[in-house]
Structure formats: structure tokens, C-alpha cells
Chain A
Amino acid sequence: MLKVNGLSTYYGNIQALKGISMEVAEGEIITLIGANGAGKTTTLMSISGIVSSRQGEIFFLDKPIHAMSPDKIVSLGISQVPEGRRIFPYLTVAENLDMGAYLRSDTENIKKDMAYIWDLFPILSQRRHQAGGTLSGGEQQMLAISRALMARPRLLLLDEPSLGLAPLVVKQIFEIIKKINTENNTTIFLVEQNANMALKIAHRGYVMENGVITMSDSSRNLLCNEAVKKAYLGL
């Protein structure tokens, strides 16, 4: 479904991604784990086109997307939950969701999807007229995920959904991610620092270090791998 080929991204003169390649098949949950500054977020930003890559190719459904503008990429069916949630603080919960459906014009289906979100996160339904900035961290994360879902993505890019949340809330969020994957057959690309949690729900995983992919295996194997255990699982 998504194919990344020798992707290199720079911030000025600093090379953040050094020719990475990866592949995501339809219906999978893929996770990308790594330490701070390894280039995980940059990978996501390059795929969604917000940061432009200098070399390499990205194919989504066999279409080259590495030179496309972010809005075109969203319209193809890739939507991103940015790191740190980044919801619109002064828009209400419902308006935030409506912004997620910005490129869609099928009003009826948008309403249906909105109802689906209310079912998925009943707490958001209670707060639908509240400004986004007044929600708690966990609720904001739920809102960010819901907002991305409103675009009806085929591939959902999640950037550190566990960031700054209580363990119980993290667990809840991960259950929802799994549910989204099984219920809608939405492919999920998950970037995480919480490697333990991420590898438990993912089918496959990539390990990233200093802008290079150092390992790629099924998540079961990665969980048992001695090097991963030592570096990321703290075992």
C-alpha cells in the first residue's frame, strides 16, 4: 500500500533521514520505534508532505506522492495525527472534527462518521460544544485521532499517541487504535517511544536509529530480540 524507497530528508544542512526504505501492506498495523531524534516524526512528516524530502520516492497505492502538496496527499487517503495532538484550541470539539472532514463534501456521510466518532469516544460526544483547548490531555488525543478519522483515511499516521498521558489512558487509546484497525480495515502506521505498547498491538515493526532503519521484523520477534529488549524495552 505504502512504499518508501531510499528516502532522505534534510533540515537545512542537517540530514535527518538517511535513505530509509519501508513498506506497509493494506490492513496492517506497522510501528516505527526509536529513541529521541532518530527521525521518526520526520519520516511521518515526509510521508504526509508537510516536510519535503530531498531524495527518494514514496508510493501510495502505486502513485508517487513524494512531490505532492500535503492537501493532495490527504485527499488520496493518508491522514496524520500530528505529534503533541495539535488540536484547534478555540474551535469546539464538533468543529475540530468538521475541520478533519475539510476536503469532503458528502454531508450525509460526514454526519454518519461523526456519529461513529461519538460511539467510539462517548466522552467527546458529551463535550462536543466545548472548546478543544479545555479538554484534558487524553481527551485531546482522542479528539486528534477522531479528527484524522473524519477524513476517512485508508492509511492513518499516528505520531506518539501516548505522549504525556497517564498509563491507563494510554492503554485505552491503544485499544481504540486496534479497534479502528479491525473494524474499518484502516491501515495504521504508528510512531512510538513506548515500544512495549506499540509492539504489542502492531503486526510488524521497524527500528530506527540516527535516521537509518536498523531492524525490521514481525513485532513478536522484535519483542524477543535481545538488542531491542535492551535498548527500548528496558529489560
Chain B
Amino acid sequence: MMTFTEIKKSFLTSLWFMFLTFPIMVIRVNTIEKQVIWRWENMWYVGIGSFLLSFVWRYFLRRKERGNNHANEHIANMSSSIQRIFSRRRYKIPAMVAAAMTVAVFPFVMNSYQTNIMITALMYVMLGLGLNIVVGLAGLLDLGYVAFYAVGAYTYGLLNHHFGIGFWTVLPLGGALGALFGVLLGFPVLRLRGDYLAIVTLGFGEIIRLILENWNEFSYGPSGIAHISKPSLFGIKLSFSGEITYMYFLMIGMVCFTIFVVNRLQNSRIGRAWIALREDEVACQAMGIDKTRTKLTAFALGATWAGMAGVIFAAKTTFINPASFTFMESAMILSIVVLGGMGSIPGVIIAALFLILLPEYLRAFSDYRMLLFGAIMVIMMVFRPQGIIATVRRNYNFKKAEN
């Protein structure tokens, strides 16, 4: 009986879709020969397609509601088995070794195009891990994260352009400036939560981009800054492919450093203070946690990674302009965090690689990229809201003191 109603509902959905898409899918007006072409066969495709999709959607949703969603269980099992494998020492070490080997030989096996997109993906891993501190741990929804990325990129771009300062000097400086801007954003939003915070951070991101776009004397406006130096390697002149390989390993190093620091932060007292602040502000204050300082450190530490990633971005592309720092970038980084699982380091890494590499390999479908992207997000949020790999929090063992 249930299936019958499902079919009926799906049928109605498909009728509705056929009606909605009728003007664009069926009618085609040829303005040159002044005739209208009726493509009736398209209507059938739309009808059958939407019927099937709607049916499958309803079917899975119903199973999920019943609590025995096989697809859901399957995904859950898969990810928990990933976690289990990684938590077991016997598998953990070989898996780590295999991953390290893949990482080490990648630029020598693959061509420079592949290595290049891998570098981009790794940059997003770094950005995702940085935003993970702010959104995943501290629970502060930041929609203007790209602003700090821009700050880092322009720090290097301008310092290199005017004073010829090298990459390695600017890298920590970019991080520091990112942190400074993080605090700058943090102060006005200390009292805000949820939607309000999201709107203010969104505005902040746009302000930075608009300043860069319009302040010609300072940032050279939309034409941007070109001929930024690539990172140096003890003054050795590198070939074109050598440069890419060097960049790749530099990025791997940075990502490892980020993972190390974020992991340490997560299990530190300040990390737990962030989690506690996300859960209950009043209780935090009653425990003596300084709300102001804790929130500001979250913003500052999150922004540091974006600042450094910005410096690397400028060095990699050797050209920057405000068009690289639009809201789409912020949305992308946030999607990485949400898709991967808030607060989960392996989740963020997998999501970043998935979201950045997939569009590159699916160039053929580039017109439908955002459509697919949206569909993935919706499906993910309905069937697995905790992300690809949900956070597994560490357990602490306190032994009874002997006295």
C-alpha cells in the first residue's frame, strides 16, 4: 500500500516537473528562421527522470524514518570501519606507511598537471583544517573566512612587489597578519551567535574583497599583482617541473604541520574550552573560562592558517587579484568542513580532496558542477548530517590517586 502512495506522489512530482520545465525543455524558438520547434521527446525524458529520482528519494527517506535505512547503515558502517581500521595498531601503521609512500612518489609518477591540482587540493586541506578550528571546535559560523586568505595572499604579493621580500620571511608574517585580522573581526562579533554571526562574518569577507578591488593605489584593484616570486630553495635554480615538485612537498610539509598543531590544539585545554563554549556559554563562565579570550583565540588561530595558505597561494600562482577571494571560496571551505564532519581532522582532509579533485577530473560535466555540488550537500545533510567521518573524541583515563 505504501509503495502505491509513493508511486502516486512520484507521478505527481514528475507531472509537476514536466509542467515546470516545459518552456525551456520543449519549446525552442529559432529566431533566425522564425519558427518554433516542439521537442516533445524531451518532456518524456524529464518526466521519467524526475519520476525515478523522486521515487528513489522517497524510498530512502522512508527507510531512514523507519530506522533501518540500509544505505545509511552501509555508509555508517563504512566510515566506522575506516575509524576502526585506523584505531587498530596492526592496520594503522601499514595504512600510514602506504599513505606516506603514495604521498612521496606522487609528483614523480604523475605529470605536472596532476601535481598542480593536488597542490591546490592540499591548500584547501589546510584552509579546511583552519576553518575547522573556528566552526568545528568553537562553533562560530564564519562565512568570511576567505578574507584571511586574501590578507595572507596580499601580504606576500605587496611585500614582494614593493620590497622584494622572500617567501620564507613572509610566510610567518602572513600567518601573524591573518591572526591580527582574526582578532579584528573577533572583537565586534563577541556577543553574536548563530545567524547574526554568520551575516557579520559574511560582510567582513565582502568588505576585504571590495577594499582590494577598489583601493587602486594600495592593491592595484581588479588588475591585481603579477610576477610574484616563487618560493626559493637555498638559492638553487629549479626547472619548471622541479618547481612544481618543490611546491608539492612544501605543501605536504605545511599540511602535516597543520594536522599536528590542530590535533594538539584539539586535545589541549583550550581545545576543550572551545568545545565547552560551543555547548554552553553560561556554564563556561561559571567554570571561570574567559569567554572573550577563548573566542578571540579561536578566531585568531583559525585565521592564522588562512593567512599562511594565502601566502602559499600567491607564491604558487604568482598572480593574485580580488576575483580569487569571492564568497564562493568561503562557501567551498565551509562545505569542506561540513561535509567532512565538524571537528574531525580525517573527515576534513577527505572532504577537501574529494571536493577539489572531483571537479578537476569531471571536467566534462563542468556545466553541472554546482548542480552536482548542491545535490551532494542535500543528500549528505539528509542522510548523514554528522559528516563523512564523524568526530571521535579522545577518552581520558584518570587513575585513582593512591593515598
Contact = CB atoms under 8 A, between A and B. Distances in A.
A118 B400 contact: yes
B386 to A, nearest CB: 12
A92 B288 contact: no
Interface in A57-82: 69-71, 73-75, 79-82
B396 interface: yes
B393 interface: yes
Which one of B280, B284, B286, B290 has the greatest number of beta carbons of chain A within 10 Å? Answer: B286
Interface stretch (A109-117, A187-195, A224-232): A109-117
A100 interface: yes
Interface of A: 48-50, 69-71, 73-75, 79-82, 86-92, 94-95, 98-100, 102-103, 108, 111-112, 114-115, 118, 128-129, 147-148, 151
A66 B383 CA distance: 50
Contacts of B401: 108, 111-112, 114-115
A88 B403 contact: no
Contacts of A115: 398, 400-401
A95 B396 CA distance: 7
30 contacts: A50-B282, A70-B285, A71-B288, A74-B288, A79-B286, A79-B287, A81-B286, A82-B283, A86-B282, A86-B283, A87-B283, A88-B279, A89-B279, A90-B275, A91-B279, A94-B396, A98-B396, A99-B276, A99-B289, A100-B287, A102-B269, A102-B273, A102-B289, A111-B398, A111-B401, A114-B401, A115-B401, A118-B400, A128-B398, A148-B286
Contacts, number: 92
Contacts of B289: 71, 99, 102
A28 B289 CA distance: 27
Contacts of B395: 92, 94, 129
A90 B285 CA distance: 17
B272 interface: yes
Interface in B358-403: 393, 395-396, 398-401, 403
Contacts of B287: 74, 79, 99-100, 102, 147-148, 151
Nearest to A113: B401
Contacts of A91: 272, 275-276, 279, 393
Contacts of B272: 91, 95, 98-99
B226 to A, nearest CB: 48
A112 B403 contact: yes
